Structure 1
Amino acid sequence: MSDEKIKKALQEAGIVEIITCTQAFTIAEKAKVSRSAVGEYCTKNRIKIRGCQLGCFK
């Protein structure tokens, strides 16, 4: 269920291959899911995380 919410929010934002942490946080709020759920979805669907606020992803 949360995967479908995340997928819809990503599609509405036009995000296909790359997402920033800031965008991921916004998607989580919009889809009403946890930030980690968005991260897991991105990993599973090969969406790269860039511009990490912690410097983990470059």
Structure 2
Amino acid sequence: MDTEKIRKAFEANGITTEITCPQAFKISEEYDIPKMHIARYCNTADPKIKIRGCQLGCFR
């Protein structure tokens, strides 16, 4: 997992404390980052980044 790439993508999109499922999918596609890497990053970031509005359970 490239944490620096994800951190920069989140920073560029104004993500600091929470992200919505559609935002996560968009970042995944735009930056070519696997969705599970985004989920893992959110769960291990300090402080953690909450994933909101996930209908499919892709991010846990």
TM-score for the superposition, normalised by structure 2: 0.81
Give the deviation of 1:56 after TM superposition. Answer: 7.9
1:49 deviates by 0.4
Change (3 A) 1:26 1:44: same
Q: 1:30 to 1:50 in 2, by over 3 A?
A: same
More helix by share: 1
RMSD: 2.0
- Alignment: residue pair count: 57
Q: Any stretches of 5+ residues in structure 1 without a counterpart?
A: none
* Alignment of 1:52 onto 2:58: no
> What is the distance in 2 between the residues matched to 1:33 and 1:55?
18
- How far, CA to CA, are the matches of 2:44 and 2:17 in structure 1? 12
Runs of 4+ deviating beyond 4 Å: none
Letter in 2 for 1:48: K
Per mean C-alpha deviation after superposition, the further-off stretch among 24-33 and 11-20 is 24-33
Are the counterparts in 2 of residues 9 and 30 from structure 1 also a CA contact under 8 Å?
Answer: no
